[in-house]
Structure 1
Amino acid sequence: MTTTLALTGSPLWYASRASGTLALVLLTATVTLGIAAGGRAAPRCIGRFEIGLLHRNLSLLTLAFLTMHVVTAVLDPFVHLGWAVAVVPFGASYRPLWLGLGTAALDQLLAVLVTSALRQRLGVRRWKAVHWMAYAAWPLALFHGVGTGTDTRLPLQLWLHAGCLGAVVAAVWWRLAKAGPGHITGRLPAATAAMAVPVVLGAFLATGPLQPGWAQRAAATTFVLGGGR
């Protein structure tokens, strides 16, 4: 009976979850490549042109699946989302916090896309300043997927999130190990984030999505944040 009910969901819901998961995996690959292959950590056996081309293609694939994720989520009649929710964070009536994190991540990635197209006019320094937002978008997207997804408790989904987290953390430590002496002020925030994100995510999973009744508690939180009692 449970299996039958689980397979009768909206096709748009399945498309939204699948595209969102793929977008997270591709964003993880993009961020991991950008971190691990930057600076002195760039491998000598592969040219920077090839690395840059792969990085760009992964970014475009991420945006393609992210677009599909947003469109199918808005068209899904179950949640009744409007198009404004796709660009205005924390304005949804359905789980505004977790959807807002995803919207904030999308806005950051769109800013990176626009500034990349205007790179020649903005200059390298300004472009790099905005480009760092892509790294900030990754944890927002991760917590968005964990907090919003109704399938977070599935073993496959947990392993996928763990793999994404492990890949980015490993890339950060690899970059720090290859950075060489100096630049302590730049290393401390990266090292702190690499230690803090797994701890915060683990604590959140243990007290939230992995606990029975998480969906009901999230819905109740949504009602309060949405202006109800």
Structure 2
Amino acid sequence: MIAEGPLLWYLNRATGLTLLVLLTVSTVLGVLATGGRPGHRVPQFVTQQVHRNLALLSVVALVVHVGSAVLDTFVDISWWEAVIPFGASYERLWLGLGALSLDLVAVVVVTSLVRSRLTHRRWRAVHLLAWLAWALAVAHTAGIGTDIEQRATWAVVPTVVCVLAVVAALGLRLGQALSDHHLVRSDS
């Protein structure tokens, strides 16, 4: 514990919400990039590159978010409590969900960095953990976020929009998959 005062607390809140938005947009772009079809307005490689860049920016925001939580003296969170799920004395469940989300993001990032050494099937199986990381981040936000508890519009609205965006992207992707499956079956 190094810092006193509200600066780190505000930084933690701001980076937490920013991180949720970045993870959401990255997740949505990841979903849309996998469902690309010829003739779409935005080439698939552009969607994938923006997805990767936003994912990288998310990692930076995650480091700042966790760092500000650990350095802030308002709540006593040690570095290991931010990494090891469900070991914290403060808000054990909600902080644990955040730590688990962080761990899953780390696994997805590491496997993406060594993607060329993995089969596509293995990489994709691990990469799908990003969905769980996102869902855990939403639960962490809803459970530990004091602004959500107080129903502050500036925190609730973006969180709800993030959930709706991922649900819409998933619906779109599932609709494309069903349509593709139907086309393949009708061609047979």
TM-score (norm 2): 0.88
Q: Is 2:25 the counterpart of 1:29?
A: yes
The answer to whether the 8 Å contact 2:11/2:68 transfers is yes
Q: CA deviation at 1:43?
A: 6.5
Distance 1:66 1:79, change over 3 A: same
2:91 corresponds in structure 1 to 95
In angstroms, what is the RMSD of aligned CA positions?
A: 1.8
The answer to whether the 8 Å contact 1:41/1:178 transfers is no
Q: Which has the higher contact order (CA 8 A, sep 6+)?
A: 2
The answer to whether the 8 Å contact 1:30/1:55 transfers is yes
Q: Is 2:40 the counterpart of 1:57?
A: no
Q: How does 1:81-92 map to 2 (within 5 A)?
A: 81-92=77-88
**2: CA distance between counterparts of 1:99 and 1:119?**
30
Structure 1 alignment gaps of length 5 or more: 1-7, 184-229
Identical counterparts, % of pairs: 47
Secondary structure of 1:128's partner?
Answer: helix
1:74 corresponds in structure 2 to 70
2:169 corresponds in structure 1 to 171
For each residue in 1:29-52, what CA deviation from the matched residue of structure 2 results, as whole angstroms up to 9, or x when unmatched? Answer: 011111133235677222222111
Q: CA deviation at 1:14?
A: 0.3
Distance 1:46 1:103, change over 3 A: same
The answer to whether the 8 Å contact 2:33/2:48 transfers is no
Q: Partner letter of residue 16 of structure 2? A: G
**2: CA distance between counterparts of 1:132 and 1:35?**
10
The answer to whether the 8 Å contact 2:8/2:69 transfers is yes
Distance 1:118 1:143, change over 3 A: same
Q: How does 1:200-211 map to 2 (within 5 A)?
A: none
Q: Partner letter of residue 115 of structure 1? A: T
Secondary structure of 1:90's partner?
Answer: coil
Structure 1 stretches of 4+ moved >2 Å: 39-43
The answer to whether the 8 Å contact 2:95/2:144 transfers is yes
1:136 corresponds in structure 2 to 132
The answer to whether the 8 Å contact 1:40/1:178 transfers is no
2:42 corresponds in structure 1 to 46
Secondary structure of 2:146's partner?
Answer: coil
